[in-house]
Structures are given as structure tokens and as C-alpha cells.
Chain A
Amino acid sequence: DAGITQSPRHKVTETGTPVTLRCHQTENHRYMYWYRQDPGHGLRLIHYSYGVKDTDKGEVSDGYSVSRSKTEDFLLTLESATSSQTSVYFCAITGGGQDTQYFGPGTRLTVL
């Protein structure tokens, strides 16, 4: 398995609170991604990073921000969580060439 960890693995929070999810990789890969997975929608890209301090928006970026201060860490922040952000969040990295994405184990977030 690619060395990707996500923390926390589960979180329950209340509407309006800030939430930060962490993705950590040990592969020294350049590209990192945050996806959310919801029934009927598959995997939707929130933000991605192509280097330290280099990030860009995906298709569902509203309400989310990211930061990457080190190659190995990619943080996803919900500034003020809403119930519509209840989802399973996956971090991924792309190794070597463009060919393969390796996914982390996921974080299940529930916003009450």
C-alpha cells in the first residue's frame, strides 16, 4: 500500500464549527488531491495540489480551503461546516507518472 494516512478517520461535528482534515504521505509525490464521495455522485474533486504552496480548485471547492506547507502534508479545512458537507473524504496522491492515483483510507465526516 502507498504510504498515505488520513486523520481523523471519523469525526462528528456541529454546523458552523471549523473542521480540518489531514492527509499525510510518505512517498514524496508531487500531486495530492482531496475528493468527497457521496452516493450517486461518485468521487468529486474538491482541491488538488501540484507542489508545496501550489493548489487549485476542483469541481466542488465552495466551502473548502486547503493548504500544503510541506510535501508530505495536505490539509483540507471546512471553515464553517454545513450538513451538506457530511460525506466521506478521500485523499489521493499520484506517483511517478500520471498513471495511478493512490487513495488514503478515508475520513467519514458527519455534520449535525
Chain B
Amino acid sequence: QQQVKQSPQSLIVQKGGISIINCAYENTAFDYFPWYQQFPGKGPALLIAIRPDVSEKKEGRFTISFNKSAKQFSLHIMDSQPGDSATYFCAALKGGSYIPTFGRGTSLIVHP
């Protein structure tokens, strides 16, 4: 049973465009939602994270939008750059848990 569903599996965007990756979850006990970025040949690294008490969090060109009622959250990359080309994973954790549930990842390619 996939508890965090991520879409799309792959995404191609032109430089300067907006990249949008969506995740949906089922377990209402989740209360922490991080996004990880992984470059080829490297391990994933935390990009940005949000808790359900806010609907949006922005860090530079990266924004998480959170819809608690719909049990969905999304990553928006504004002014996408070729250097953003990577695999992105969403994740969710329950309060007090140290075991994240990961989405299956989205491969983003930004064409120059």
C-alpha cells in the first residue's frame, strides 16, 4: 500500500518555466512533509519542508503548497534552471516517528 503517491514520474520543463510536483497522502497522522533533491550519483538531500500549520512555505525559487483538507502537498520550482535537473522525493512523517514514508520520486529535466 503506497501511503504517499507522487506525480508525475517524470517532468520536462524549459528553462525559466515552472516545475510542479504533486504528492498525496492518506494517513492524517502525518505532520511533517519534507522534500528531498537528488542529483545523479549522489544521495538525496533535504530541500525544503513544511508542517500542516501553514499552507505555504517559500525558500528562494522553491515553494511548498500544502492543502490539509485535500491531503495534498506540492513543490513548485519557479524560474526553473538546468541546474535544477534532479530527482525529487516527497516524504511524510507521523508525529514522534523517525521513519519517513517516501513517494516514488520525480525525475525533472530542465532544458536550456
Contacts and interface: CB of A to CB of B under 8 A. Distances in A.
A92 B42 CA distance: 12
A90 interface: yes
Given A31-B98, A42-B105, A43-B102, A100 B43 contact: no
Interface residues of A, number: 21
Interface in B36-79: 36, 41-46, 49
A63 B43 CA distance: 23
Contact of A41 (B42, B96, B104): B104
B28 interface: no
B98 A42 contact: no
Given A40-B104, A42-B105, A103 B99 contact: no
Contacts of A42: 6, 89, 102-105
Interface string A58-90: 100000000000000000000000000000001
A63 B96 CA distance: 29
B42 A105 contact: yes
Given A43-B89, A50-B98, A100 B46 contact: yes
A101 B46 contact: yes
Given A42-B104, A50-B98, A98 B42 contact: no
A94 interface: yes
A91 to B, nearest CB: 8
Which among B41, B97, B98, B104 has the highest number of chain A CB atoms within 10 Å?
B98
Interface of B: 6, 9, 32, 34, 36, 41-46, 49, 89, 93, 96-100, 102-105
19 contacts: A31-B98, A42-B6, A42-B89, A42-B104, A43-B44, A43-B89, A43-B105, A50-B98, A90-B43, A90-B44, A94-B98, A98-B32, A98-B96, A99-B49, A100-B46, A101-B44, A101-B46, A102-B46, A105-B42
